[in-house]
Amino acid sequence: VKDAVRLAGRGLLVLGVLTWISSCLYPKLKSYLSPVTPPSVEGPAQDAHSRFKQEKARRDQQHQHSVKSDKYLEAVVKPRQEAVLRKREEDFYRMTGQSWKLSQGFTLGGEEEMLANTDAIDETPNQRAAKKRKELEAVNSAPVQTQLSKDKKIITLPDEPSEDATGVVKIALRCPSGRTVRRRFLKTCRST
């Protein structure tokens, strides 16, 4: 058994030495067997042309990368930054008790303002403010009527007389929205 172990140890030692020698000598033998050929030298015209092609390819590639990065910046980075800024602003307003600034809000009297501008030009600021003012809605809404209301009586107005006719009465009605409606009637017309 001792002899078998010694023989195996010697065999492994010889195998290791042969592997080391072959790894050291193989590159040298390879260089002797197949010599390295020097790279071919291109002429100056071909070299300049190839450099021009390379430069053009680099510029094109750089342009493509710039376009990609701009698209990414617009589509991803800026919306993320805006969302973060919006979130910080919302948190700030909630912490300071100004959460009313987060709502979209609505304009008061916007439709009436257009009508008021067309009616009167020579108004004082107080009159304009009075026209814009709205009454607050009642807290309790009116109860829903279960009975059908009577049919409304339809009144037909007579034709409006001309301005220079005699016996004409001018009537002006001011609506809750601030609009004034003017109409002429003959004194002989009845209101029944």
Task: Tell me how many domains the chain contains.
Answer: 1
At 12-67, the pLDDT tens digits run: 999 999 999 888 888 887 877 776 666 565 555 568 888 999 999 999 999 999 99
Q: Which of 138, 140, 136, 141 is nearest to 108 (CA)?
A: 136
User: Is residue 83 a part of any domain in this protein?
Assistant: yes
Asked if residue 139 has pLDDT above 50, the reply is no
At 153-184, the pLDDT tens digits run: 777 888 889 888 888 999 898 888 889 999 99
User: Is residue 56 a part of any domain in this protein?
Assistant: yes
Please tell me the predicted confidence (pLDDT) of residue 7. 93
Please tell me the predicted confidence (pLDDT) of residue 149. 66
User: Is residue 110 a part of any domain in this protein?
Assistant: no
User: Is residue 123 a part of any domain in this protein?
Assistant: no
Please tell me the predicted confidence (pLDDT) of residue 19. 93
| Residue range of the domain that includes 76 | 49-99
At 77-110, the pLDDT tens digits run: 999 999 999 999 989 888 888 777 777 766 665 5
User: Is residue 108 a part of any domain in this protein?
Assistant: no
Asked if residue 143 has pLDDT above 70, the reply is no
User: Is residue 76 a part of any domain in this protein?
Assistant: yes
User: Is residue 67 a part of any domain in this protein?
Assistant: yes
**Greater confidence, 170 or 141?**
170
User: Is residue 172 a part of any domain in this protein?
Assistant: no
**Greater confidence, 52 or 112?**
52
